[in-house]
Amino acid sequence: MEFDKGVAIDEAKEDGRDELNKDLLKLDEALRKIQITPACSLPEQAQQVDLSQCPTSYKENSPQEKLLLAIAENFRCQYAHIYPDRKPLLLCPLNECGVQKFVSTTLRPTLSPFPELYSWDGCASFVSDFLSLEPLDPPTDPPKHLHSPTWVLQTNRGSCFEFSTLLCSLLLGAGYNAYCVSGYAVKEMCLLNQSLQQCPLLGPLVKVKATKQRQQVKKYSVKPPRDLCSGFEQRQEDRRQAEAQAILLQKQQEEERLREDGERPPPDALLGLRVHCWVLVLADSREVPENFFIDPLSGKSFSTTDKCFLGIESIWNHQNYWVNMQDCRFGCAEMTYDLGDAVKWEYLLYGAAGQSVLTIPDMMMQQEVEDEDEEESRVFEMPPSWVNQIKISQQDMETRCPGGMKVIHYRKAKLEKFAPYLLKDGLVTRLTTYSDLDCTHSSTVKEWYQHRHDHLEERELNKATNVTVEHFRPGRSFALRSHRYIMMTPETERQMDFYSCARADGLVRRVEMPFEMTETFENRPDFLYYRHVVFGKRVKVFSPSNKEAPDRVDRPIQKVVESFHRDQSKPAREDVAERIFLVCEDRIQVTYHLEDDRIIPAWRNFIKPKDSGDSQKPHSFSRQMASTFHVDSFEKPCKNLFLYEMLVHMMKEEETVALRVKDSEKEVRAILAVREQEESSIELHISIYNTARNERARCHREAQERMAQEERLQEQEKELDFLAPFLAQLVDPENLTRQVALKLRSDCLADLKQRLVDKANLMQARFERETQELQQKQQWYQKNQLTMTKEDEDEYLAYCSDAMLRIHVLKLRLSSHKDKAPQKYLSLDERLRRDPRLANHLL
């Protein structure tokens, strides 16, 4: 530390000398600019953003800004004069157009429309994800350039100062009391090297909280039975063990220390000199309980006493600029952030808004104020930001990282992030942990998925045991919740958890071993909660039909154990607690629940009759086939009939249980088949609200738009021009004379009249024809009435009624036509009068 301090002081002294010698300073600056320029010019990014598109505020300074720059320059000169051994402040760097801009005006408070960006952690993680870092060059000086947040968003890259400016703008917009901080930090932070840190996703293992034994000593609690062990021996033993433990612990600590020493990076020669910029959020706004720092590069928050931050030069927000006057020799731990305290924080602008009242008017400030506006005593306020509003598109939010993906190296871990829908299998995050520091031997791989059609959310592969655990969202077939397996083939070791409330059988978990299967249930009406099945070896049957599918032959069941919860509606001695079907031994054991105040349950053992193969046939039964034990010797022995009926019932149960087990095995096979099929063709689910990606929705929308278009066209066509045929005959349809107009009108009316008359005539003719035909038919009927057959007569009658109907309809139509014709005529006349083309001439 001593050495570092010395360097810092030397550096500061050098700076002070530079200040005195202005020529040297200029030269130095010029030299630095030459050095910096190539680093800043980013070949592909720079081309993307057209500088000429920038608004004028980017390229010029307003009078107010010029005034501000003058104030800043004055401040800088005085500061350099008074504190020659401190580093120059970052006050007015150049923006992307090469114009000097004050840092505070580069902040553009913006509230973004995304709810995610309303909280500080959302903003921080967005900024850290969205930008990629350009390290400062040299790392010990603040940059000469500070690009606007809009530029940074477009190019997707920036220095830590630009990160902070963007983040601070977002936070200020969201209502936080945020400040950009220019200062010094450790190397790992400046270079965004997180490989020494624990991955936050891994986190400390969740400690199982030992449920506190509610050892409430009641008045009549029984005393524990007397302990007959020797207290002395116990103590000696304890002491021996404690010693052994202490030695072990010491060894462990030793090892730990050695390991840590090995891991520790070599000491940094520039410790305490590396310039960094981060964000300070002060308490009391947006319910922030206490001050904290945000490192914009990693997006993490730190307490203000964190050891990573080594010192602060200055801080600023969109309203003012403060220089730190506190001692930073021991880091930032003892700093206070009461910006109203002029002893600790030297401000640039007097009485800027948002500050606590200044109690000690500063000499320098007074001078300034007097200089600026002596008469008016009006304080100078920070001019508005020259930066355009910050716009973040939906696309940007989704893509997040540049190119949609990002890799972060942590200690013994690698974290990969992907934008949703970027990868075909829906992977969004992958965390690989390694067993060594060089990250060569991976131990576990944990993957998170989104929008998967098979509802897969998380998959964890343990490389050491080769066990894979998959977690699913609710909504899958068979209500699968998680699946833990080594191999996907059936009848191997696996564990499946289910969403039991979504299943009719209330299954919670099914654990399989090569020859065992255990199922646990919940909330079943028959109180079953546990079933354990032991399988025997598959009997090999060498028949041609079984060769193709050996799996189809079911494994023989050796033993089934089923346990039941207590059914309060039955007395305990009749409520079965456990039944064991020893299939291979042809025995059934039934155990009942414990009665009150009992420690030994009653049980019954049955031996199945030998001829039990056919359940239809009545079974022979003898007293020896059932044995009963009951602790109460006064219990009446139950009757043979009851035992026989129970045996029959149990044998039936055995059959149903065997069926259930087969169903379970079938289900496992079905799940495995479905999983394999899903994994081989992964589909992503696209929400119907996702307009950008949902192909069908887009097609539908486009089709609708097309339909609407067509409808509009049709509407237009409908408006027929009844004058068109007449106008077409004219030479000059645009200019009508009165005469022509009158003629048009009369033509039109005549035409309509003609059509109406024609129509009436047509109807009249049809009417007459029908009448005539009917008459003829009637005459014919009169004549041949006597010789007619029944069918003919029916036909005639049917014809007559048809004809009468037709005649009647025609008559009605004719009369209504006659009624309406004059009206139609008049209405046409009216419309012609109103027609804009004829109106002038006719009225």
Partner 1 sequence: MSRLYDTLEPSVMDKKMLQQAVEEQGPQDQAGQIAKEEGVLYEEVCQLCLNYRNILKIDHLWQFTSLTKLQLDNNIIVKIEGLECLTNLKWLDLSFNNIEVIEGLNSLVLLEDLSLYNNRISVIENMDTLLNLHILSLGNNLFTQLENVIYLRRFKNLRTLNLAGNPICREDHYKIFVAAYLPELVYLDFGLLNEETREQAHGKYQYAIEEMRHNETQERKAIEAKKEQEDQFQLHMDAFVEHLNGPYLFDSMYADDAEAAKLSYLPGVPVLLETFKSQLVELCMQMFEVGLAQHGRREDELKSFFDCSREAVEENQQRAAQSVADFERARRQVMSEMQQATDPRLLETQLNHCNDEINQLCDSLMTQELQLVDQLEDIIKDFERDILDMVAGFVEVVQGIFAQCRDLENHHHEKLLEIAVATLEQVAKNELEEDMPDDVRMLFVDKDTVINAVSASHDTHLLKIDNREDELVTRVNSWISALIKSIQDKEVKRNRKRIAEIHNYIDYVRDQLSEMRQERWGKNI
CB of 834 to partner 1, least distance (A): 59
CB of 565 to partner 1, least distance (A): 16
Copy the structure tokens of residue 196: 């020494």
Residue (22 or 219) nearer to partner 1, CB: 219
Residue 641 interacts with partner 1 (CB under 8 A): yes or no: yes
Q: What is d(CA 570, CA 590) in angstroms, rounded to the nearest whole number?
A: 16
Residue (540 or 639) nearer to partner 1, CB: 639
Residue 131 CA: distances (Å) to CA of 150, 184, 302, 396, 461:
12, 21, 20, 11, 31
Residues 512, 672 contacting (CB under 8 angstroms):
no
Which stretch, 151-159, 168-176, 347-355, 618-626, contacts partner 1 (CB under 8 A)?
Answer: 618-626
Q: What is d(CA 818, CA 805) in angstroms, rounded to the nearest whole number?
A: 20
CB of 664 to partner 1, least distance (A): 25
CB of 600 to partner 1, least distance (A): 5
Residues 421, 684 contacting (CB under 8 angstroms):
yes
Q: What is d(CA 84, CA 77) in angstroms, rounded to the nearest whole number?
A: 10
Strands 427-434 and 413-418, sheet pairing = antiparallel
Residue (265 or 536) nearer to partner 1, CB: 536
Burial class of residue 604 in the structure, from the number of CB atoms within 10 Å of its CB (0-12 exposed, 13-18 middle, 19+ buried): buried
Site for partner 1, residues 185 to 244, rule: CB under 8 A: 218-223, 225
Q: What is d(CA 696, CA 207) in angstroms, rounded to the nearest whole number?
A: 48
CB of 527 to partner 1, least distance (A): 18
Residue (178 or 560) nearer to partner 1, CB: 560
Q: How many positions of this chain bind partner 1 (CB under 8 A)?
A: 29
CB of 643 to partner 1, least distance (A): 9
Residue 618 interacts with partner 1 (CB under 8 A): yes or no: yes
Residues 535, 557 contacting (CB under 8 angstroms):
yes
Which stretch, 73-81, 477-485, 590-598, 830-838, contacts partner 1 (CB under 8 A)?
Answer: 590-598
Q: Return the SS3 of 68.
A: helix
Residue 636 interacts with partner 1 (CB under 8 A): yes or no: no
CB of 605 to partner 1, least distance (A): 9
What is the pattern of x (binds partner 1, CB under 8 A) and - over residues 737-776? ----------------------------------------
- The phi, psi pair for 429, rounded to 5°, reads -140, 140
Which residue of 330, 515, 629, 780 would you call a contact of partner 1, by CB under 8 A?
A: 629
Residue (632 or 795) nearer to partner 1, CB: 632
Which stretch, 59-67, 164-172, 631-639, 651-659, contacts partner 1 (CB under 8 A)?
Answer: 631-639
Residue (212 or 226) nearer to partner 1, CB: 226
Copy the structure tokens of residue 724: 């068109």
Residue (542 or 634) nearer to partner 1, CB: 634
Residues 729, 805 contacting (CB under 8 angstroms):
no
CB of 551 to partner 1, least distance (A): 31
Site for partner 1, residues 642 to 671, rule: CB under 8 A: 644-645, 648
CB of 660 to partner 1, least distance (A): 24
Which stretch, 98-106, 337-345, 460-468, 596-604, contacts partner 1 (CB under 8 A)?
Answer: 596-604
Burial class of residue 19 in the structure, from the number of CB atoms within 10 Å of its CB (0-12 exposed, 13-18 middle, 19+ buried): buried
**Alpha helix positions (H), 83-217:** 103-106, 120-130, 149-155, 160-173, 187-190
Q: Which residues fall within 8 angstroms of residue 167, CB to CB, at 6 or more apart?
A: 123, 124, 127, 178, 279, 294, 296
C-alpha dihedral, 832 to 836 to 842 to 843, nearest 10°: 120
Residue (221 or 393) nearer to partner 1, CB: 221
The β-bridge partners of 312 are: 183
Residue (343 or 631) nearer to partner 1, CB: 631
Concatenate the DSSP letters of all residues of 566-603 into one string. Answer: --TTS-GGGSEEEEEEEGGGTEEEEEEPPPTT-SS--E
Residue 620 CA, chain-centre distance (Å), reads: 66
Which residue of 639, 696, 718, 790 would you call a contact of partner 1, by CB under 8 A?
A: 639
Residue (536 or 550) nearer to partner 1, CB: 536
Residue 573's nearest CA partner among 501, 659, 616, 634 is 634
Residues 61, 71 contacting (CB under 8 angstroms):
no
Residue (129 or 516) nearer to partner 1, CB: 516
Residue 586 interacts with partner 1 (CB under 8 A): yes or no: no
Which residue of 9, 487, 541, 631 would you call a contact of partner 1, by CB under 8 A?
A: 631
C-alpha dihedral, 506 to 512 to 516 to 519, nearest 10°: -10
Residue (220 or 542) nearer to partner 1, CB: 220
Residues 787, 837 contacting (CB under 8 angstroms):
no
Which residue of 114, 118, 478, 621 would you call a contact of partner 1, by CB under 8 A?
A: 621
Residue (73 or 645) nearer to partner 1, CB: 645
Which residue of 76, 619, 743, 813 would you call a contact of partner 1, by CB under 8 A?
A: 619
What is the pattern of x (binds partner 1, CB under 8 A) and - over residues 543-582? ----------------------------------------
- The phi, psi pair for 467, rounded to 5°, reads -90, 135
Which residue of 206, 210, 504, 599 would you call a contact of partner 1, by CB under 8 A?
A: 599
- Judged by the rule CB under 8 A, the positions of this chain that interact with partner 1 are 218-223, 225, 585, 589, 594, 597-601, 618-621, 629, 631-633, 639-641, 644-645, 648
